[in-house]
């Protein structure tokens, strides 16, 4: 069982990057996602199979995908979703079709603005995550339903 770690109260960047790790990085394995406080316990830092949007480390060959300092001087220069997506593209995994999702996730995570982001907040992934968080208290359930939604959203792209 592969263990993917991200942060508690996950935003779209944490959720999409964890989902990409499950469905594309570890597609041949069973995997689970753990949501931990921002100060990730040392043991998990060292032994998790993948860290996304936590850990302050960018080391793709070791499956560490965070964009916050000191990994990147400016946390808004990229996002966890973009980092794991670019790594998979570089290693020949078929993820090109996720480009639009990656772009709006990046824009939302780094306080950018665009028509595409506005639309996402109306009826796209940002809206869906907000809806699920209002409906469910349990993060694991929010994540589980968001994964189903993302698979459907991206299957015809």
Residue 37 exposed, middle or buried by CB count within 10 Å (0-12, 13-18, 19+): exposed
What's the closest the beta carbon of residue 149 comes to Mn ion, in angstroms? 19
What's the closest the beta carbon of residue 14 comes to Mn ion, in angstroms? 7
Q: Which is nearer to Mn ion, 22 or 105 (CB)?
A: 105
From the list 33, 109, 142, 146, which residue makes contact with Mn ion (rule: CB under 5 A)? 109
Helices (H), the chain: 12-20, 42-47, 80-90, 99-109, 115-123, 125-135, 139-155
Which span (26-34, 54-62, 73-81, 84-92) binds Mn ion, by CB under 5 A? 73-81
B/e letters for 100-119, b = 16+ CB within 10 Å, e = fewer, are ebbbbbbbbbbeeeeeebee
66 binds Mn ion (CB under 5 A): no
From the list 22, 40, 53, 103, which residue makes contact with Mn ion (rule: CB under 5 A)? 53
Which span (46-54, 95-103, 113-121, 139-147) binds Mn ion, by CB under 5 A? 46-54
């Amino acid at each position: 069982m592969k263990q993917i770690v991200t942060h508690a109260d996950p935003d779209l960047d944490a959720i999409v990057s964890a989902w990409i790790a499950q469905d594309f990085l570890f597609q041949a394995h069973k995997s689970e996602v753990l949501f931990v406080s921002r100060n990730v316990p040392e043991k998990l830092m060292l032994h998790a199979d993948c860290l996304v949007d936590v850990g302050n480390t960018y080391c793709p060959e070791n499956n560490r995908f965070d964009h916050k300092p000191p990994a990147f001087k400016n946390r808004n220069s990229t996002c966890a979703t973009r980092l794991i997506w670019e790594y998979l593209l570089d290693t020949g995994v078929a993820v090109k079709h996720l480009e639009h999702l990656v772009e709006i996730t990046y824009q939302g995570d780094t306080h950018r603005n665009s028509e595409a982001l506005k639309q996402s907040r109306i009826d796209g992934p940002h809206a869906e995550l907000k809806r699920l968080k209002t409906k469910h208290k349990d993060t694991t359930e929010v994540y589980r339903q968001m994964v189903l939604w993302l698979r459907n959203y991206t299957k015809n792209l």
